[in-house]
Structure 1
Amino acid sequence: MGSIPARETDEGGRIAPGDGYDLVAIRLPVVLTFAGLVAGLAAGVLLAGADLPEWTLDSVALVGRLWLDALQMTIIPLVAALLVLGLSQIVKAARAGATARRFLLLIFAVLAGGGIFTAIVLPLLLTAFPIPDGASGFLAEVPEGTQEVPGVLDFLESLVAPNIIAAAAETTMLPLTIFFALFAIAITRLPETQGERLLGFFHALANTMLVVIGWVLWLAPAGVLALAFGVGLRSGGGAFAALAHYILVVSAMGAVILAAAYVLAATLGKGGLARFARAVLPAQAVAISTQSSLASLPAMLDSAARLGLRGSTAEFVLPLAVAIFRATSPAMNLAVALYIAALAGVEVTPAIAVAGVLVALVISVGSVSLPGSISFVISIGPIALAMGIPIEPLALLVAVEMLPDIMRTLANVTMNVAVASAVDRGRDQP
């Protein structure tokens, strides 16, 4: 049984050397960005009644727009590169044997189930617990006419772009995602030397774009402060309540994945629910304290030993899970997109919901090994674009991603151990 190395990275803000990303070392100013959000909102609330000069408001708005545009310009090239790398890695994993294929089948079921659950349940949750009125200020900079609701035939026709360059120029993410997914699979069918050359190009492209987005995110405190100032002026103190509501709703979708990990372990895993819950506690403690699946890997391996899993299974499945699997990605990323859709009054038809789930599934492959603030941008941006949802609010929501990210890491680590347990038990069956 072969092995595939995990990319050395974590959710908390670092990409360390490993598997093609050795040129990149990013440390994100997470605390400063959050401070910029709070300071901007507070300043806007305090100065809401002041008669500020028009040029002052225009200058602050310009800073925010420039930072937002710089953030958006990295989405398509970075998504393209990471999709090709991630999907080619999955194809290689599928060829590693029956254990790898069983693992891939399980993670596909988890990812698809999470996305479908969110698409169905989140609108109902927002009906039961409506978004606070103050949230409307987050949409002031959104251009009108951002969505045209497609019919079923229009949706099917949109799956294939006759001109991929035009599709990129128009940021039509669904056909772009399908194209690069097919491109990645096609690379694995090439002669080895040709495939290596192409993958080397995409490794270099990913590294380059990560450097660029690292520069952009270093400016996040200033950009977020400028955007938050405008929101504070428009929304008043209600903006803080809106952010708290958003964090709770999105984290709730991650909590569902966490609960699903226990169900999976109890039904398909080894040792039963009580033993699993005890065994996974040390890994969960590391996950909460570090917000890093990679840093939690030794603790996950220890949890696997406590469960009595084969060393060969744990040492193959868990590093591979760290490299290509984030159980919460489709559920929580789609939750963010749907939350913004509710803010903007965008009608999410069944066709639009299907587009969102499909893109969320595929994009999760390309962003799994990136820091939370980076994966937030390149994972949710394509989903929102594919669904016709404005992406402007993402520039502010990224500032509070460190809070839902705790739930992401906790659920991801728990699900990794649960999947390893299920795969190991599957090896016992004929």
Structure 2
Amino acid sequence: MATSGPAQGVLGQILEPVGSLWLDALTMPVVPLVFGLLVTGVASASRSAAAGKTATRALLLFAVMLTGACLFAAALAEGMLHLWPAQGTLAVAGMPPAGPDAGAWYRSIIPANPIKAAVETAMVPLVVFALFLGFATARIGDELAEALLKPLRALVEAMLVIVGWVLVVGPIGIAALAFGAGARLGAGILGTLGQYVVVVAACCLAATLLAYLWAAAAGRVSPLRLARAALPAQTVALGTQSSLATLPVMLESAAALGVPPAAAGIVLPLAVSLFRAASAAANVAVAVYLAHMHDVPIGAGELALAALVAVPISLGAVGLPAQVSFFATIAPVCIAIGVPVTALPLLLAIEAVPDLFRTLGNVTNDIAVTSIVGINPR
């Protein structure tokens, strides 16, 4: 922001290629990483469901509650940005189009050539193929399934190593990208980032409130009772920003709600691993916010698509480090609706604040779904 004239032009010529190369290196592993995570995650979840009724019901509730949170977040983010338009613009040259027409999109859901879909970074058909492959893998013999899943797990681990290398030089890449943003927006970049935090935090809080509604409607647990039981776990969640670290306290919260220990012992570990309702909602909000920042037109169809893509991506991103999952879970949603991902590294730099609300919402939803499954078994 302090530079201008020739100095800014010279620095821009140096830093713009550096930022672009770093971003390309970070984007490079996304497709194989997402594909490998989805296939192995869906296959594992399918086998867990086959292990018992409690796990099956929990997984079904995960899917339903995740979808509800993502759809609500998409509508809320769009509504907020309609009333409070995005500050400035991050539009870049060569930006991809918003997406195909409705007829072409429906015809492309099932990929006639999955390899072609991967090459073209067509995330929706690629996700559909990965889901089919994951469910099919859970239906074949253990020996054959392991033969297929082992190289995919190795692929995921290799991609995580590459991402780790790229993130080592992250300060340089993010600084280069930040220079371009500061040069284009000036002091307005501060308002842009502040607005982003408010929109994403609001969607996370909305997902948190939905947990109380789900518990009341499906589990017949009063919101006040859930709030009292969940408060210790929510406090730890805000302090640690880790659902896993909050697990012991969540077990106490489940016991306070009257959930049998056996049920809580099954549902809560599954929820901590697979069920990130607020994070999935936040991912959709990020994609919607970037669409507005890049002036990409989105309608009801794109909002629904963003929500539906975010659900399996969230379920598949099990155990990823926070920095990696930020890209691995948001980039596919953006790509699916034709939104550039160039601004994601800048948003990662301030993700610590929205992450507080992500963890709060995730933990609250984990306790809510445990109360639904454990108190009212069917």
- Normalising by structure 2, we get a TM-score of 0.95
- The verdict on how the C-alpha distance between 1:223 and 1:194 changes in structure 2, with shifts beyond 3 A counting, is same
TM-superposed CA distance for 1:55, in Å, is: 4.0
- The verdict on how the C-alpha distance between 1:274 and 1:188 changes in structure 2, with shifts beyond 3 A counting, is same
**8 Å contact kept, 2:69–2:210:** no
Q: Aligned partners of 1:130, 1:246: CA distance in 2, in Å?
A: 11
Corresponding residue number in structure 2 for 1:63: 18
Corresponding residue number in structure 2 for 1:111: 66
Question: What is the number of residues matched between the two proteins?
Answer: 378
Question: Which amino acid letter does the alignment assign opposite residue 30 of structure 2?
Answer: I
Corresponding residue number in structure 2 for 1:408: 358
Aligned residues with identical type, % of pairs: 41
Q: Aligned partners of 1:122, 1:226: CA distance in 2, in Å?
A: 29
Further displaced range: 51-60 or 88-97 = 51-60
Corresponding residue number in structure 2 for 1:279: 229
Mapping of 1:59-138 within 5 angstroms?
Answer: 59-133=14-88, 136=89, 138=90
Question: Which amino acid letter does the alignment assign opposite residue 2 of structure 2?
Answer: L
TM-superposed CA distance for 1:149, in Å, is: 4.2
Q: Aligned partners of 1:85, 1:264: CA distance in 2, in Å?
A: 29
1:42-93 deviation digits (Å, cap 9, x = unpaired)? xxx111x353174432111121111101110010011011101111122112
Is 1:425 matched up with 2:375?
yes
Q: Aligned partners of 1:229, 1:310: CA distance in 2, in Å?
A: 55
Corresponding residue number in structure 1 for 2:113: 163
Q: Aligned partners of 1:165, 1:143: CA distance in 2, in Å?
A: 28
Counterpart of 1:266 (choices 216, 219, 225) is 216
1:355-405 deviation digits (Å, cap 9, x = unpaired)? 322211111111142222211101111111111111111121121122111
Is 1:365 matched up with 2:315?
yes
**8 Å contact kept, 1:322–1:369:** no
Question: Which amino acid letter does the alignment assign opposite residue 244 of structure 1?
Answer: G
Q: Aligned partners of 1:120, 1:57: CA distance in 2, in Å?
A: 37
Q: Unaligned stretches of 5+ in structure 1?
A: 1-44
**8 Å contact kept, 1:151–1:351:** no
Q: Aligned partners of 1:195, 1:105: CA distance in 2, in Å?
A: 23
TM-superposed CA distance for 1:270, in Å, is: 6.2
Mapping of 1:6-405 within 5 angstroms?
Answer: 45-47=1-3, 49-52=4-7, 54-133=9-88, 136=89, 138-139=90-91, 142-269=92-219, 272-405=222-355
**8 Å contact kept, 2:279–2:359:** no
- The verdict on how the C-alpha distance between 1:309 and 1:339 changes in structure 2, with shifts beyond 3 A counting, is same
Question: Which amino acid letter does the alignment assign opposite residue 131 of structure 1?
Answer: A
Q: Aligned partners of 1:217, 1:110: CA distance in 2, in Å?
A: 32
- Normalising by structure 1, we get a TM-score of 0.84
Q: Aligned partners of 2:77, 2:155: CA distance in 1, in Å?
A: 36
**8 Å contact kept, 1:373–1:401:** no
**8 Å contact kept, 1:333–1:360:** yes
Q: Aligned partners of 1:152, 1:176: CA distance in 2, in Å?
A: 18
- The verdict on how the C-alpha distance between 1:146 and 1:304 changes in structure 2, with shifts beyond 3 A counting, is same
**8 Å contact kept, 2:323–2:348:** yes
1:187-219 deviation digits (Å, cap 9, x = unpaired)? 112211010122221221111111111111121
Q: Aligned partners of 2:99, 2:155: CA distance in 1, in Å?
A: 34
Question: Which amino acid letter does the alignment assign opposite residue 262 of structure 2?
Answer: S
TM-superposed CA distance for 1:161, in Å, is: 2.4
Q: Aligned partners of 1:271, 1:332: CA distance in 2, in Å?
A: 26
**8 Å contact kept, 2:98–2:337:** no
**8 Å contact kept, 1:155–1:351:** no
Q: Unaligned stretches of 5+ in structure 2?
A: none
Question: Which of the pair is proportionally richer in helix?
Answer: 2
**8 Å contact kept, 2:36–2:153:** yes
